[in-house]
Amino acid sequence: MTSMTSAKQVPKIFAGIADADIEYAEFELVDPEESDSTLVSWLGALPKDGSRVVIFAQDGMGSLFALWLRANHAEIESAPVIYLGSEGETAVLAKDPRAFVELLGSAVTFDGHAGTFFSMDEDEDEEIGERRERSKSFAKRTLGLDKLRKPAAIKAEAEAAYPDLQAWVDANNAHS
């Protein structure tokens, strides 16, 4: 059986993220080819409903960032970006890859436990400040925007569009 993730693709708009030096708590791109095996580790099995995720990044704690390809919406360029926390937390972070690039531009980190974003401004050194500016510049340039929305607004829009992530995880979690 051929996996939906075997195409090893990520949205075109993600081109350049690797070179942008994004300021996000140890944000690291990963090989989408490993998505199925990583998801099996996280859920205990591949989803039963035909949905898949394309995992494209992780943070320093091992939490995952992925595109949620639902059985009825498998278009990678418009798929929602989800967060699968290292301790089981979930969130829909962005309604699509464009909104996720905008979120990255805010140069804040998502706290899966609290469901909020934070910034390490009090400990900011010159290098982090420069990376924050590069993050913002990358997002604005990539999206053609003069101003970025607040991260909470981006996440709220995504949650309103895709309110059923936790129910999907619960229905497909072979560990429970």
Residue 47 and residue 53: Cα distance in Å, rounded? 9
Q: Which residues contact 140 (CB under 8 A, 6 or more apart)?
A: 105, 146, 147, 148
What pLDDT score was predicted for residue 23?
A: 55
- What band does 175 get if pLDDT is binned at 50, 70 and 90? confident
Q: What is the pLDDT of residue 73?
A: 82
pLDDT digits (tens, 9 = 90+) for 32-60: 999 999 999 999 999 989 899 999 999 88
Percent above pLDDT 70 for the chain: 89
